[in-house]
Structure 1
Amino acid sequence: MKTSPIYIALGANLPSAGLSPAQTLARALDALAARGITVVARSSDWHSPAWPDPSAPAYVNAVAEVATRLAPRALLDQLHAVEAEFGRVRHIRWESRVLDLDLLDYRGERCTDAGGMDVPHPRMTDRAFVLLPLAEIAPDWCAPGSGKLIGHLIDQLPPADIAATHR
């Protein structure tokens, strides 16, 4: 029996150790693979303006399907460890960053804990920079809970957000 997929989002808008944001995303996937987290599929790189400060460097975003036997919390901890490996330090919410790895969907399950884990990612369905790359690798994905198809969710996004997010 095939299990449902696990999806993670990747983003960066600052260089890390001499790597461009796009190179950082590729190396982050290598770092996950070295930790036993298999990359099954990966979207193209997508570009989106920084938010909330559009004068900051634009982001490079991607979504990957991964396979692992790790439980949701253990996987999220590994994502945070890879972020730290690339120099991510959390100071201010939504600040520019060298690497951001988010657990979007863990096999369609609802996963929360006292440590702040909230899966599926609570804001993913409102973000063009998540939904557009996710649609590239999972065109039939449905939002856990609501069951809304990804195409419907994309149609609900502000047209300006869709226009600003591109390959």
Structure 2
Amino acid sequence: MERSQPLSGNIAQQTAFIALGSNLGVDDQDSVQTVVSAMAVLGNVLGETLVKSPIYRTPCFPAGRGPDFANAVVACQTNLSAADMLAGLHRIEADFGRTRAARWDARSLDLDLLALGAQVQPNRTEFEHWHDLSLEAQQARVPADLILPHPRLQDRAFVLVPFAQVAPEWHHPVLGVTVAQMLAALPVDEIAAVERISLENEGSS
């Protein structure tokens, strides 16, 4: 498969947090191998990769939409704007065979920009609107603009478990709590369903 080229930067460096997920894999790679490959590409395209979480196996969400996911979170130091980062993430997804046939459908690779420094985009009012939507509304509606921080990250164990391995003290600029605090607020059974995957070469790089 083709691989995206680095993007040129245009702002002061900030730390970006990106969630990765796959439950289909691509080419001859399974979902775990796809996430490992995508982690390497992220650093090449978006900026220096600072920290990578372990990879976790999590139940598909919503339930019944497909196989279990492989999930992870990475932190990258970048001087890209949020819009340029989003464009870069979409390019990488396309390189890994991502299609968007249906919202929250099974996918070869899903890359979500969780946060970029302490930015709130496009503004606090829009963030709070999308943060407060019901699950049913989330499934039916897609925001026209990028929302930062990701408005659902505090609800998702499959995001917060790996995020807590990367930056447990990252402070949500609107909610006023850390990643560790958001994770601790989730139901125990949701956290337990996110199971770490042991890789043969883990810790070798």
Task: Please say whether Structure 1 and Structure 2 have the same fold, judged by a TM-score greater than 0.5.
Answer: yes
Question: Is 1:139 the counterpart of 2:149 in the alignment?
Answer: no
What root-mean-square deviation, in Å, do the aligned CA atoms of Structure 1 and Structure 2 show? 1.9
Residue in structure 1 matched with residue 156 of structure 2 by the alignment: 127
Contact 1:3 1:107 in 2 (8 A): no
Residue in structure 2 matched with residue 163 of structure 1 by the alignment: 192
TM-score by length of 2: 0.75
Question: Is 1:74 the counterpart of 2:63 in the alignment?
Answer: no
Question: Is 1:60 the counterpart of 2:63 in the alignment?
Answer: no
Distance 2:72 2:17 in 1: 11
Distance 1:148 1:157 in 2: 13
SS of the residue 1:24 aligns to: helix
Residue in structure 1 matched with residue 180 of structure 2 by the alignment: 151
Partner residue of 2:48 out of 15, 38, 54 = 38
Q: Which runs of 5+ in 1 are unaligned?
A: none
SS of the residue 1:83 aligns to: helix
Letter in 2 for 1:117: L
Computing the radius of gyration from Cα coordinates, the structure with the larger value is 2
Q: CA deviation at 1:115?
A: 4.3
Moved over 4 A (4+): none
- Across the two proteins, how many residue pairs are aligned to each other? 166
TM-score by length of 1: 0.92
Greater relative contact order, per chain length (Cα 8 Å cut-off, separation 6+) = 1
**1:3-53 CA distances to partner (integer Å, 9 max, x unpaired)?**
652100000000201111111112112222332522111000011100113
Among all aligned residue pairs of Structure 1 and Structure 2, give the percentage whose two residues are the same amino acid: 36
C-alpha change, 1:70 and 1:79, in structure 2 (3 Å) is same
Contact 2:18 2:73 in 1 (8 A): yes
Q: Which runs of 5+ in 2 are unaligned?
A: 1-11, 124-142, 197-205
Q: Please identify, of 136-145 and 126-135, the stretch whose mean Cα deviation from structure 2 is larger.
A: 136-145
Partner residue of 2:23 out of 3, 13, 23 = 13
**1:81-120 CA distances to partner (integer Å, 9 max, x unpaired)?**
1000000001111111000000001001112398421110
Letter in 2 for 1:65: A
C-alpha change, 1:64 and 1:109, in structure 2 (3 Å) is same
Q: CA deviation at 1:55?
A: 6.5
